[in-house]
Amino acid sequence: MLRRIKAEQLQVGMFVARLGGPWHARAFTRSKFLLTSEDQVSQLRSSGVQEVWIDILKGRNAPTPQAALSPWETPEPEPEPAPVAATSLEAEFGYARELIQSGKSVIGSMFTDVRMGRALEVDGALLLVDSASKSLSRHSQALIALARLKARDDYSYMHAFAMCALMVAVGRTMELPPEEVRDLGLAGLVHDIGKLTLPEAVLHKPASRRPGEDEEIRRHPSTGYRILNEARVNANIVLDVCVHHHERVDGRGYPFGLMGRELSVHAKIAAICDTYDSLTSSRPGHQEWSPARAMEYMAVRVDTLFDRHVFKAFTRTVGIYPLGTVLRLRSNRLAVVCAQHESEPLRPRVMAFYSVPDSSPLTPQVIDLRHSSDTVVAFEDPADWGYTDEQLLAIYAGQGQPGAAGATAMATPGA
Protein backbone atom coordinates (compact mmCIF):
# COMPACT_ATOMS: atom_id res chain seq x y z
CA MET A 1 0.00 0.00 0.00
CA LEU A 2 1.53 3.30 -1.11
CA ARG A 3 1.71 6.28 1.23
CA ARG A 4 3.06 9.70 0.31
CA ILE A 5 5.30 11.28 2.95
CA LYS A 6 7.70 14.20 3.22
CA ALA A 7 11.42 13.54 2.78
CA GLU A 8 12.15 14.49 6.38
CA GLN A 9 9.87 11.63 7.54
CA LEU A 10 12.07 8.99 5.89
CA GLN A 11 13.51 6.33 8.19
CA VAL A 12 15.64 3.22 7.86
CA GLY A 13 13.40 0.24 7.15
CA MET A 14 11.02 2.05 4.81
CA PHE A 15 10.49 0.69 1.29
CA VAL A 16 10.70 3.45 -1.32
CA ALA A 17 8.23 2.73 -4.13
CA ARG A 18 8.37 5.99 -6.06
CA LEU A 19 10.43 9.17 -6.00
CA GLY A 20 8.91 12.51 -6.81
CA GLY A 21 10.58 14.79 -9.35
CA PRO A 22 12.69 14.32 -12.49
CA TRP A 23 15.96 14.28 -10.51
CA HIS A 24 15.61 10.70 -9.28
CA ALA A 25 16.85 9.09 -12.51
CA ARG A 26 20.18 10.86 -12.04
CA ALA A 27 20.44 10.38 -8.28
CA PHE A 28 19.51 6.71 -7.93
CA THR A 29 19.96 3.66 -10.15
CA ARG A 30 16.77 2.03 -8.83
CA SER A 31 13.33 3.56 -8.38
CA LYS A 32 12.19 0.96 -5.81
CA PHE A 33 14.35 -0.08 -2.87
CA LEU A 34 14.47 -0.70 0.87
CA LEU A 35 16.23 1.92 2.97
CA THR A 36 18.87 -0.05 4.90
CA SER A 37 21.15 2.70 6.20
CA GLU A 38 21.16 6.26 7.46
CA ASP A 39 23.49 7.13 4.54
CA GLN A 40 20.68 6.29 2.08
CA VAL A 41 18.23 8.38 4.08
CA SER A 42 20.65 11.33 4.15
CA GLN A 43 21.32 11.02 0.42
CA LEU A 44 17.59 11.15 -0.35
CA ARG A 45 17.01 14.13 1.92
CA SER A 46 19.96 16.07 0.48
CA SER A 47 18.96 15.40 -3.13
CA GLY A 48 16.30 18.09 -3.06
CA VAL A 49 13.29 15.77 -3.13
CA GLN A 50 10.34 17.00 -1.14
CA GLU A 51 8.12 13.91 -1.09
CA VAL A 52 8.46 10.13 -1.48
CA TRP A 53 5.96 7.29 -1.89
CA ILE A 54 6.61 4.39 0.50
CA ASP A 55 5.01 0.94 0.37
CA ILE A 56 3.93 0.14 3.94
CA LEU A 57 3.21 -3.47 3.00
CA LYS A 58 6.92 -4.01 2.24
CA GLY A 59 8.53 -1.82 4.84
CA ARG A 60 8.16 0.45 7.84
CA ASN A 61 5.27 2.92 8.07
CA ALA A 62 5.55 6.56 9.10
CA PRO A 63 3.89 7.20 12.48
CA THR A 64 1.21 9.85 12.76
CA PRO A 65 2.42 12.65 15.06
CA GLN A 66 0.60 12.35 18.41
CA ALA A 67 0.26 16.08 18.86
CA ALA A 68 -1.04 16.83 15.39
CA LEU A 69 -4.60 18.07 15.61
CA SER A 70 -5.12 17.95 11.85
CA PRO A 71 -2.75 15.40 10.25
CA TRP A 72 -4.34 15.96 6.85
CA GLU A 73 -3.39 19.65 6.72
CA THR A 74 -0.68 20.83 4.32
CA PRO A 75 1.64 23.84 4.79
CA GLU A 76 0.33 25.49 1.64
CA PRO A 77 -3.38 24.67 1.23
CA GLU A 78 -4.99 25.02 -2.16
CA PRO A 79 -7.00 28.20 -2.72
CA GLU A 80 -10.71 27.89 -2.04
CA PRO A 81 -12.79 27.17 -5.15
CA ALA A 82 -15.26 29.78 -6.31
CA PRO A 83 -18.51 29.53 -4.30
CA VAL A 84 -21.39 27.68 -5.92
CA ALA A 85 -24.88 29.18 -5.71
CA ALA A 86 -27.11 27.32 -3.25
CA THR A 87 -30.30 25.65 -4.43
CA SER A 88 -33.41 24.46 -2.67
CA LEU A 89 -33.72 20.85 -1.58
CA GLU A 90 -36.46 20.25 -4.12
CA ALA A 91 -34.41 21.70 -7.00
CA GLU A 92 -31.25 19.81 -6.01
CA PHE A 93 -33.20 16.55 -5.85
CA GLY A 94 -33.95 17.09 -9.53
CA TYR A 95 -30.27 17.62 -10.38
CA ALA A 96 -29.25 14.71 -8.15
CA ARG A 97 -31.62 12.29 -9.86
CA GLU A 98 -30.07 13.09 -13.23
CA LEU A 99 -26.56 12.78 -11.78
CA ILE A 100 -27.29 9.40 -10.21
CA GLN A 101 -28.77 8.11 -13.46
CA SER A 102 -25.74 9.13 -15.49
CA GLY A 103 -23.46 7.98 -12.68
CA LYS A 104 -24.88 4.46 -12.79
CA SER A 105 -23.89 4.31 -16.45
CA VAL A 106 -20.33 5.46 -15.71
CA ILE A 107 -19.90 3.09 -12.76
CA GLY A 108 -21.53 0.22 -14.66
CA SER A 109 -19.14 0.67 -17.58
CA MET A 110 -16.15 0.79 -15.24
CA PHE A 111 -17.26 -2.35 -13.39
CA THR A 112 -17.89 -4.19 -16.67
CA ASP A 113 -14.34 -3.41 -17.80
CA VAL A 114 -12.97 -4.99 -14.63
CA ARG A 115 -15.18 -8.08 -14.94
CA MET A 116 -14.14 -8.53 -18.57
CA GLY A 117 -10.45 -8.09 -17.78
CA ARG A 118 -10.16 -4.88 -19.76
CA ALA A 119 -8.04 -1.88 -18.79
CA LEU A 120 -9.67 0.24 -16.10
CA GLU A 121 -10.30 3.87 -17.10
CA VAL A 122 -11.10 6.44 -14.40
CA ASP A 123 -11.47 9.66 -16.43
CA GLY A 124 -15.26 9.34 -16.44
CA ALA A 125 -15.21 8.52 -12.74
CA LEU A 126 -13.29 11.72 -11.97
CA LEU A 127 -15.86 13.77 -13.88
CA LEU A 128 -18.56 12.06 -11.82
CA VAL A 129 -16.71 12.98 -8.61
CA ASP A 130 -16.54 16.62 -9.73
CA SER A 131 -20.29 16.65 -10.48
CA ALA A 132 -21.07 15.13 -7.08
CA SER A 133 -18.90 17.75 -5.39
CA LYS A 134 -20.77 20.55 -7.16
CA SER A 135 -24.11 19.08 -6.08
CA LEU A 136 -22.96 18.98 -2.46
CA SER A 137 -21.81 22.60 -2.78
CA ARG A 138 -25.28 23.65 -3.91
CA HIS A 139 -27.06 21.64 -1.19
CA SER A 140 -25.18 19.63 1.43
CA GLN A 141 -27.82 16.94 1.95
CA ALA A 142 -29.85 16.29 -1.22
CA LEU A 143 -27.44 13.97 -3.02
CA ILE A 144 -26.63 11.99 0.14
CA ALA A 145 -30.32 11.47 0.92
CA LEU A 146 -31.16 10.40 -2.62
CA ALA A 147 -28.15 8.09 -2.98
CA ARG A 148 -29.32 6.17 0.10
CA LEU A 149 -32.46 5.06 -1.77
CA LYS A 150 -31.29 2.00 -3.63
CA ALA A 151 -32.83 -1.23 -4.80
CA ARG A 152 -31.24 -4.61 -4.14
CA ASP A 153 -30.58 -5.20 -7.83
CA ASP A 154 -28.44 -2.05 -8.20
CA TYR A 155 -26.82 -2.11 -4.75
CA SER A 156 -23.24 -2.43 -6.01
CA TYR A 157 -23.53 0.61 -8.30
CA MET A 158 -25.41 2.77 -5.83
CA HIS A 159 -23.19 1.79 -2.89
CA ALA A 160 -20.20 3.03 -4.90
CA PHE A 161 -22.01 6.26 -5.73
CA ALA A 162 -23.22 6.79 -2.15
CA MET A 163 -19.68 6.21 -0.87
CA CYS A 164 -18.39 8.82 -3.29
CA ALA A 165 -20.93 11.40 -2.10
CA LEU A 166 -20.43 10.65 1.60
CA MET A 167 -16.64 10.72 1.43
CA VAL A 168 -16.56 13.97 -0.53
CA ALA A 169 -18.98 15.51 1.96
CA VAL A 170 -16.96 14.39 5.01
CA GLY A 171 -13.72 15.53 3.39
CA ARG A 172 -15.23 18.97 2.87
CA THR A 173 -16.46 19.06 6.47
CA MET A 174 -12.93 18.28 7.66
CA GLU A 175 -11.61 21.02 5.35
CA LEU A 176 -9.21 18.70 3.55
CA PRO A 177 -7.39 20.17 0.53
CA PRO A 178 -9.47 20.05 -2.68
CA GLU A 179 -7.18 17.51 -4.35
CA GLU A 180 -7.56 15.16 -1.37
CA VAL A 181 -11.34 15.53 -1.43
CA ARG A 182 -11.34 14.65 -5.13
CA ASP A 183 -9.24 11.55 -4.46
CA LEU A 184 -11.62 10.60 -1.64
CA GLY A 185 -14.51 10.71 -4.10
CA LEU A 186 -12.69 8.48 -6.57
CA ALA A 187 -11.74 6.15 -3.72
CA GLY A 188 -15.41 5.87 -2.81
CA LEU A 189 -16.29 4.82 -6.34
CA VAL A 190 -13.65 2.08 -6.55
CA HIS A 191 -13.18 1.00 -2.90
CA ASP A 192 -14.99 -2.32 -3.46
CA ILE A 193 -13.65 -3.01 -6.94
CA GLY A 194 -11.99 -6.19 -5.68
CA LYS A 195 -15.44 -7.69 -5.09
CA LEU A 196 -16.02 -7.79 -8.84
CA THR A 197 -13.74 -10.82 -9.05
CA LEU A 198 -15.89 -12.82 -6.59
CA PRO A 199 -18.52 -15.34 -7.71
CA GLU A 200 -22.04 -13.88 -7.63
CA ALA A 201 -23.21 -16.81 -5.48
CA VAL A 202 -20.74 -15.85 -2.75
CA LEU A 203 -21.10 -12.08 -3.04
CA HIS A 204 -24.91 -12.07 -2.86
CA LYS A 205 -25.42 -15.04 -0.58
CA PRO A 206 -28.24 -14.09 1.84
CA ALA A 207 -27.52 -16.79 4.42
CA SER A 208 -24.41 -17.33 6.55
CA ARG A 209 -21.29 -17.97 4.51
CA ARG A 210 -18.97 -20.91 5.01
CA PRO A 211 -15.49 -20.16 6.44
CA GLY A 212 -13.88 -20.49 3.00
CA GLU A 213 -16.37 -18.04 1.53
CA ASP A 214 -15.64 -15.55 4.30
CA GLU A 215 -11.96 -15.76 3.40
CA GLU A 216 -12.82 -14.97 -0.23
CA ILE A 217 -14.71 -11.87 0.90
CA ARG A 218 -11.86 -10.78 3.15
CA ARG A 219 -9.43 -10.86 0.24
CA HIS A 220 -11.34 -8.26 -1.79
CA PRO A 221 -9.42 -5.21 -0.45
CA SER A 222 -6.07 -6.73 -1.49
CA THR A 223 -7.53 -7.85 -4.82
CA GLY A 224 -8.84 -4.34 -5.43
CA TYR A 225 -5.43 -2.88 -4.62
CA ARG A 226 -3.87 -5.17 -7.25
CA ILE A 227 -6.48 -4.18 -9.85
CA LEU A 228 -5.87 -0.48 -9.26
CA ASN A 229 -2.10 -0.93 -9.35
CA GLU A 230 -2.31 -2.80 -12.65
CA ALA A 231 -4.48 0.02 -14.00
CA ARG A 232 -1.76 2.50 -12.91
CA VAL A 233 -4.11 4.30 -10.55
CA ASN A 234 -1.28 5.75 -8.49
CA ALA A 235 -3.26 8.11 -6.26
CA ASN A 236 -2.11 7.31 -2.74
CA ILE A 237 -5.49 8.01 -1.14
CA VAL A 238 -7.38 5.80 -3.60
CA LEU A 239 -5.05 2.84 -3.02
CA ASP A 240 -5.03 3.41 0.74
CA VAL A 241 -8.83 3.46 0.99
CA CYS A 242 -9.21 0.41 -1.26
CA VAL A 243 -6.98 -1.80 0.87
CA HIS A 244 -7.82 -0.40 4.33
CA HIS A 245 -11.54 0.49 4.37
CA HIS A 246 -12.33 -2.59 6.48
CA GLU A 247 -9.64 -1.89 9.09
CA ARG A 248 -10.81 -0.76 12.54
CA VAL A 249 -9.06 1.46 15.08
CA ASP A 250 -8.91 -1.35 17.70
CA GLY A 251 -7.11 -3.68 15.29
CA ARG A 252 -10.08 -6.01 14.72
CA GLY A 253 -10.46 -5.18 11.05
CA TYR A 254 -8.96 -6.78 7.96
CA PRO A 255 -6.89 -7.55 5.93
CA PHE A 256 -3.94 -6.53 8.17
CA GLY A 257 -5.45 -5.79 11.58
CA LEU A 258 -3.96 -2.29 11.70
CA MET A 259 -4.69 -0.04 14.69
CA GLY A 260 -5.32 3.62 15.39
CA ARG A 261 -2.33 5.68 14.27
CA GLU A 262 -1.35 3.06 11.67
CA LEU A 263 -4.45 4.07 9.70
CA SER A 264 -4.70 7.22 7.62
CA VAL A 265 -7.52 9.70 8.13
CA HIS A 266 -8.75 8.73 4.66
CA ALA A 267 -9.10 5.06 5.59
CA LYS A 268 -10.91 6.08 8.78
CA ILE A 269 -13.35 8.20 6.76
CA ALA A 270 -13.98 5.28 4.41
CA ALA A 271 -14.61 2.84 7.27
CA ILE A 272 -17.33 5.07 8.73
CA CYS A 273 -18.98 5.93 5.41
CA ASP A 274 -18.94 2.29 4.27
CA THR A 275 -20.56 1.07 7.49
CA TYR A 276 -23.24 3.77 7.45
CA ASP A 277 -24.26 3.19 3.85
CA SER A 278 -24.23 -0.60 4.29
CA LEU A 279 -26.45 -0.40 7.38
CA THR A 280 -28.95 1.95 5.73
CA SER A 281 -29.21 -0.13 2.54
CA SER A 282 -31.25 -3.18 1.65
CA ARG A 283 -28.97 -5.96 0.47
CA PRO A 284 -28.87 -9.79 0.63
CA GLY A 285 -29.12 -10.87 4.24
CA HIS A 286 -29.81 -7.38 5.59
CA GLN A 287 -32.93 -5.24 5.82
CA GLU A 288 -32.06 -1.55 5.72
CA TRP A 289 -31.94 0.40 8.97
CA SER A 290 -33.16 3.93 9.44
CA PRO A 291 -30.37 6.57 9.35
CA ALA A 292 -30.91 7.37 13.02
CA ARG A 293 -30.65 3.72 14.06
CA ALA A 294 -27.41 3.38 12.09
CA MET A 295 -25.99 6.50 13.73
CA GLU A 296 -26.93 5.17 17.19
CA TYR A 297 -25.29 1.82 16.45
CA MET A 298 -22.09 3.45 15.24
CA ALA A 299 -21.90 6.02 18.04
CA VAL A 300 -21.47 3.33 20.72
CA ARG A 301 -18.59 1.83 18.71
CA VAL A 302 -16.50 5.00 18.59
CA ASP A 303 -12.94 4.38 19.83
CA THR A 304 -13.28 0.65 19.19
CA LEU A 305 -14.33 0.37 15.54
CA PHE A 306 -14.34 4.02 14.51
CA ASP A 307 -12.11 7.02 15.08
CA ARG A 308 -13.71 9.59 17.39
CA HIS A 309 -12.49 12.71 15.57
CA VAL A 310 -13.61 11.45 12.16
CA PHE A 311 -16.96 10.26 13.52
CA LYS A 312 -17.65 13.74 14.90
CA ALA A 313 -16.99 15.15 11.44
CA PHE A 314 -19.28 12.51 9.93
CA THR A 315 -22.03 13.45 12.40
CA ARG A 316 -21.67 17.11 11.44
CA THR A 317 -21.93 16.08 7.80
CA VAL A 318 -25.07 13.92 7.83
CA GLY A 319 -26.59 15.24 11.06
CA ILE A 320 -27.54 13.47 14.27
CA TYR A 321 -30.94 13.03 12.65
CA PRO A 322 -30.09 12.66 8.94
CA LEU A 323 -32.43 13.95 6.26
CA GLY A 324 -35.37 11.55 5.91
CA THR A 325 -35.24 10.29 9.52
CA VAL A 326 -38.68 9.66 11.03
CA LEU A 327 -39.10 11.02 14.56
CA ARG A 328 -41.88 10.62 17.12
CA LEU A 329 -42.72 13.98 18.69
CA ARG A 330 -44.02 14.67 22.17
CA SER A 331 -47.33 15.61 20.54
CA ASN A 332 -47.59 11.94 19.48
CA ARG A 333 -47.14 12.74 15.80
CA LEU A 334 -44.65 11.22 13.41
CA ALA A 335 -42.47 13.72 11.56
CA VAL A 336 -39.76 13.38 8.93
CA VAL A 337 -36.59 15.48 9.07
CA CYS A 338 -36.48 17.87 6.12
CA ALA A 339 -33.66 20.24 7.17
CA GLN A 340 -30.97 20.51 9.81
CA HIS A 341 -29.51 23.29 11.94
CA GLU A 342 -25.78 22.97 12.51
CA SER A 343 -25.97 25.09 15.67
CA GLU A 344 -28.80 22.99 17.15
CA PRO A 345 -28.54 19.47 15.69
CA LEU A 346 -31.11 18.02 18.12
CA ARG A 347 -33.78 20.44 16.90
CA PRO A 348 -34.11 19.98 13.14
CA ARG A 349 -36.88 21.27 10.91
CA VAL A 350 -39.36 18.46 10.44
CA MET A 351 -42.62 17.76 8.65
CA ALA A 352 -45.36 16.15 10.75
CA PHE A 353 -47.30 13.69 8.59
CA TYR A 354 -48.96 11.05 10.80
CA SER A 355 -51.09 10.93 13.97
CA VAL A 356 -50.18 8.00 16.19
CA PRO A 357 -53.37 8.05 18.36
CA ASP A 358 -55.60 8.20 15.27
CA SER A 359 -53.45 5.80 13.21
CA SER A 360 -53.98 8.02 10.21
CA PRO A 361 -52.06 10.41 7.92
CA LEU A 362 -52.12 14.16 8.58
CA THR A 363 -51.94 17.08 6.22
CA PRO A 364 -48.16 17.68 6.19
CA GLN A 365 -47.09 20.51 8.50
CA VAL A 366 -43.61 21.99 8.70
CA ILE A 367 -42.33 22.50 12.25
CA ASP A 368 -39.04 24.14 13.18
CA LEU A 369 -38.23 22.50 16.51
CA ARG A 370 -35.99 25.41 17.47
CA HIS A 371 -39.11 27.56 17.81
CA SER A 372 -41.65 24.98 18.95
CA SER A 373 -42.71 23.56 22.31
CA ASP A 374 -42.81 20.15 20.63
CA THR A 375 -39.74 17.96 21.13
CA VAL A 376 -38.27 14.70 19.88
CA VAL A 377 -39.20 11.63 21.94
CA ALA A 378 -37.64 8.88 19.81
CA PHE A 379 -36.78 7.90 16.26
CA GLU A 380 -38.99 5.44 14.41
CA ASP A 381 -38.60 2.92 11.61
CA PRO A 382 -40.88 4.11 8.79
CA ALA A 383 -41.51 0.49 7.71
CA ASP A 384 -43.21 -0.13 11.08
CA TRP A 385 -45.81 2.43 10.04
CA GLY A 386 -46.21 1.24 6.46
CA TYR A 387 -44.02 3.87 4.79
CA THR A 388 -41.09 3.47 2.43
CA ASP A 389 -38.18 5.89 2.10
CA GLU A 390 -39.46 6.83 -1.35
CA GLN A 391 -42.85 7.80 0.08
CA LEU A 392 -41.20 9.91 2.76
CA LEU A 393 -39.16 11.61 0.06
CA ALA A 394 -42.39 12.56 -1.71
CA ILE A 395 -43.63 14.09 1.54
CA TYR A 396 -40.66 16.32 2.42
CA ALA A 397 -38.94 16.97 -0.92
CA GLY A 398 -40.58 20.35 -1.47
CA GLN A 399 -39.96 21.67 2.03
CA GLY A 400 -36.22 21.87 2.28
CA GLN A 401 -35.82 25.63 2.59
CA PRO A 402 -37.20 28.15 5.08
CA GLY A 403 -40.43 29.66 3.91
CA ALA A 404 -41.23 26.87 1.44
CA ALA A 405 -44.93 27.01 0.82
CA GLY A 406 -47.59 24.55 -0.12
CA ALA A 407 -48.50 21.13 1.17
CA THR A 408 -46.82 18.15 -0.44
CA ALA A 409 -49.08 15.47 -1.81
CA MET A 410 -49.50 12.75 0.77
CA ALA A 411 -48.49 9.23 -0.18
CA THR A 412 -50.72 6.36 0.88
CA PRO A 413 -48.92 4.22 3.49
CA GLY A 414 -47.85 0.86 2.15
CA ALA A 415 -48.85 1.72 -1.42
How do residues 7-22 score in pLDDT, each as one tens digit? 888 888 888 887 765 4
pTM for this predicted structure: 0.75
**CA separation for the pair 381, 389 (Å, rounded):** 10
Domain of 339 in residue numbering reads as 326-396
Do 246 and 181 belong together in one domain? yes
Q: What are phi and psi of 344, to 5 degrees?
A: -135, 75
Q: Which helix (H) or strand (E) holds 335?
A: strand 333-339
Question: Do residues 100 and 161 touch, judged by C-beta distance below 8 A?
Answer: yes
- Residue 408 is assigned to a structural domain of this protein: no
Do 37 and 126 belong together in one domain? no
What is the pLDDT, as a whole number, of residue 361? Answer: 94
Do 346 and 364 belong together in one domain? yes
Do 262 and 164 belong together in one domain? yes
Do 292 and 187 belong together in one domain? yes
**CA separation for the pair 398, 51 (Å, rounded):** 49
Do 308 and 346 belong together in one domain? no
What is the pLDDT, as a whole number, of residue 122? Answer: 84
Q: Which helix (H) or strand (E) holds 317?
A: helix 308-318
pLDDT tens track for 310-360: 999 999 999 999 999 999 999 999 999 999 888 899 999 999 999 999 999
Do 114 and 44 belong together in one domain? no
Last residue of a domain, one of 249, 283, 318: 318
Q: 45 vs 22, 28, 31, CA distance in Å?
A: 15, 13, 15
> Which positions ≥6 away from 313 have C-beta within 8 Å?
170, 173, 174, 269
- Residue 73 is assigned to a structural domain of this protein: no
* CATH number of the domain to which 12 belongs: 3.90.105
* CATH number of the domain to which 257 belongs: 1.10.3210.10
What is the pLDDT, as a whole number, of residue 207? Answer: 61
Q: Which residues pair with 283 in a beta bridge?
A: 286
- Residue 10 is assigned to a structural domain of this protein: yes
Do 7 and 101 belong together in one domain? no
Q: Is the peptide bond before 221 cis (omega within 30 degrees of 0)?
A: no
**CA separation for the pair 145, 161 (Å, rounded):** 12
pLDDT tens track for 284-312: 777 889 898 999 999 999 999 999 999 99
Q: Which residues pair with 302 in a beta bridge?
A: 306
What is the pLDDT, as a whole number, of residue 169? Answer: 97
Last residue of a domain, one of 300, 318, 336: 318
What is the pLDDT, as a whole number, of residue 8? Answer: 86
Number of domains in the chain: 3
Which residue numbers in the chain have pLDDT < 50? 22-27, 29, 65-81, 399-415
**CA separation for the pair 296, 310 (Å, rounded):** 16
